[in-house]
Amino acid sequence: MCGIVGYVGTRQAAPEVYRGLLRLEYRGYDSVGLAVLNGSSLGVVRKKGKVDAVREEIGGMIGTIGIGHTRWATHGAPSERNAHPLRSGKFAIVHNGIIENYRALREELEANGFVFSSDTDSETIAHLFALYDRGDLRETLRAVVRRLEGSFAIAALCEGAPNVIAAARRNSPLIVGRGETGYYLASDIPALAGCVQTVTVLKNGDMALVCADRVQIFDDRGEVRRQ
Ligand code: GLU
């Protein structure tokens, strides 16, 4: 097991995400990474090893929206190449879980011209975001999730959507918390201890668009259940 953290608000995101990742260390991990969006520019740092392997670099990651990941490798060796966040075009994604149909998806995506830079099952998710990108992140997220079999908690950033984290879960936990300066995402409640006043546990199959001042949660039919 391993973890996901996200933050969008008025503070610098990298230290907030880093702090949450440190609190998830007990879940086990072999590599770590963060992505921060600064305007329309994505910065990504990935390292093999412990969470503090990225400590030196987070000071240089500017931006108030970010996602982070600790990985427990299931597909592909524990290495920097396979560490998350994984990129495709305008997108950076983190994923916990296993994409069971990744072989078929990878063949399809390669036939569509996507080039893989890792050995993970998770990279298929990043390329699916790019494949289904029509400029509406909500619809792109729904299209991606429809293609996935297996278990996942996902958080994604898009260079064309500088104020929002897209998230989804199925058979892997994911929660959203509201703090004084913005919203947080995490795999479990201890990661957000002391940072948030309220917590919403996403239901199985839920998707979410998380902004600095609001969160929209919807199901696979696209019906909003919390705004
Ligand atoms: N299956 C993915 C991988 O091996 C995610 C593993 C995880 O949950 O950390 O990269």
* Neighbouring-strand partners of residue 201: 175
The finding on whether 73 has its CB within 6 A of some atom of ligand 1 is yes
* Cβ atoms of residues 67 and 61 within 8 Å: no
Longest CA pairwise span in the chain (Å): 47
**What is the CA(97)–ligand 1 centre distance, in A?**
6
Ligand 1 atom closest to the Cα of residue 122 is 2
* Cβ atoms of residues 83 and 71 within 8 Å: yes
Residue with CA closest to ligand 1 atom 7: 96
Mean pLDDT, the chain, integer? 95
Handedness of CA 101, 103, 108, 113 (dihedral sign): positive
Residue with CA closest to ligand 1 atom 8: 96
Percent of the chain with pLDDT over 90: 89
Supply the pLDDT for residue 220. Answer: 83
Supply the pLDDT for residue 5. Answer: 97
The finding on whether 1 has its CB within 6 A of some atom of ligand 1 is no
Supply the pLDDT for residue 227. Answer: 56
pLDDT in tens, 45-102: 999 999 999 999 999 999 999 999 999 999 999 999 999 999 999 999 999 999 999 9
- Distance from C-alpha of 142 to C-alpha of 131, rounded to nearest angstrom: 12
The finding on whether 71 has its CB within 6 A of some atom of ligand 1 is yes
What pTM, to 2 d.p., does this model score? Answer: 0.97
Distances (CA, A) of 223 to 140, 142, 220: 15, 11, 7
Q: Which helix or strand (DSSP H or E) is residue 129 part of?
A: helix 123-131
Going residue by residue through the chain, which has 227 residues, state the pLDDT in tens, using 9 for 90 and above. 589 999 999 999 999 999 999 999 888 789 999 999 999 899 999 999 999 999 999 999 999 999 999 999 999 999 999 999 999 999 999 999 999 999 999 999 999 999 999 999 999 999 999 999 999 999 999 999 999 999 999 999 999 899 999 999 999 999 999 999 999 999 999 899 899 999 999 999 999 999 999 999 998 887 887 65
**What is the CA(24)–ligand 1 centre distance, in A?**
15
